[in-house]
A and B are shown apart, each in its own frame.
Chain A
Amino acid sequence: MRYQRVVNEKELLESLAEPGATILCGGTDVMIKMRAGMMQPSALIDVSQLDSMQGIRLDESTLIIGAATTESDIHKSPLVREHVPLLSTVLAKLGSVQIRNRGSLGGNLVNASPAADGAIPLLLFDTEIELVSAKGIRWIKLEDFFTGPGRTVLAHGEFVRSLRLAIPNAGYGSFYHKVGRRNALTIAIASLGMLLWIEEHVIREIRMAVGSVAPTARRLRAIENQLTGRLLNDATLDAARQLITDAISPISDVRASASYRKNVIGDLLVRALGASLH
């Protein structure tokens, strides 16, 4: 196997043309998959020090995050804390100090775990992803990026340069909770994030994203639409629980059963909405 630390994107694109080449950034997923024999790349192309994939900047009403920026740097960023504070909160619960010091959000997304913690807040902030290849640049909504467990629309020879988060209008409440067996380093059994705009007890806007209860982390647009405009009361809470239980398609695995996941995601939703009600 070959290792190459690339210093510019031209070099990166040339190296990625090699059929068995894989991008290496923090290594928190790639190193584990290689050891487990799940990946046998002919070349590891290290982008962890590529300047064009680093940093966090404000661009009008969006926040742009370099795909290789470490989760620690994003968590601590004053721009992130000011404009999309839920992202900072969620990242504090991703992995551990050691993982966050190496791992990147670009890597978290490309790994495409149905349990990806980073995906939940990014879905809530209507994130778009910048994909770069020899053919040029394309922007794709994060909602359309995942195609299944461990699978994305990323083509061979293509890489993720940055993520663009839309800064939401002020005045919302936010919620995130992950259920797992240990606080740190846990792979979520179920997770739910929410942004909620309430005006005189009426749901003006609601955004919801869930992890570990479907083949990919996903937004729940249909439920968002059904809850918008409703009075936030106990009847709405009951209806919401039923809607989310019907909408998700969890599996039973080593971490939890499908029926447990259905119950727990309903509880999380009621808790999230109830926080604004009570």
Chain B
Amino acid sequence: MRIQCVINGQPVERDIDADMRLLDFIRETLHLTGTKEGCGEGECGACTVLMNGKAVHSCLVLAMQAANANIITVEGLSDGHALHPIQQAYVETGAVQCGFCTPGFIMATYALLQDTPDPSEEEILAGLEGNLCRCTGYAKILDAVKLAAERLRASE
């Protein structure tokens, strides 16, 4: 089937199988391998991307459902020169250990701060409830989100 959509600001058009998941379209067809597959069943959040401005599990979206949609993956955050302030905050606070969950956390953070620029700790926990990290114990991730929120607000 023919799919047209916008990924990270770029229009794309491809022929794909009807049963392809959005995750596989992003990774295998478009070779954007920043988005990870963890559990493949919507529990871990490693495959989180933004679809029309909302965080979704790309493993649970059929690629064809993203036809005409606007998708942002972790590759779409940086301008290609400097890291996005959220990415920079994750690096500086030590919120990245093995790094496998990080793209998903960063996209969930991006969606959270877009709607809630100055989140309380409770709001951060709720915004990241769909993401699992096996390394950090989450404390550093909370620090990263707070730092990123502060810098994004200051830059406005």
Residue numbers of A with Cβ under 8 A of B are 1-3, 5, 24, 26-28, 31-32, 34-35, 44, 46, 48, 72, 92, 95-99, 101-102, 183-185
Contact = CB atoms under 8 A, between A and B. Distances in A.
Contact of B108 (A5, A27, A98, A99): A98
Contact of A27 (B45, B48, B65, B131): B65
A31 B56 contact: no
A39 to B, nearest CB: 12
Nearest to B58: A98
Interface in B66-94: 67
A24 B66 CA distance: 13
Nearest to A49: B65
A225 to B, nearest CB: 38
B149 interface: no
- Counting chain B residues whose Cβ lies within 8 A of the other chain, the interface size class is 20 to 34
Contacts of A31: 21, 42, 59-62
A108 B20 CA distance: 23
B25 to A, nearest CB: 13
B12 interface: no
A237 B65 CA distance: 50
Given A1-B19, A184-B129, A185-B42, A28 B55 contact: no
A32 B67 contact: no
B13 interface: no
Nearest to B49: A98
Nearest to B59: A31
Contact of B43 (A44, A46, A185): A185
A99 B62 contact: no
9 contacts: A5-B65, A31-B62, A32-B41, A44-B18, A96-B131, A97-B55, A98-B57, A98-B60, A183-B129
B56 A101 contact: yes
Given A3-B1, A184-B130, A101 B55 contact: yes
A31 B61 CA distance: 7
B18 A46 contact: no
A96 B64 contact: no
B129 A27 contact: no
Nearest to A184: B129
A35 B1 CA distance: 20
Among A24, A48, A184, find the residue whose CB has the most chain B CB atoms closer than 10 A.
Answer: A184
B61 A102 contact: yes
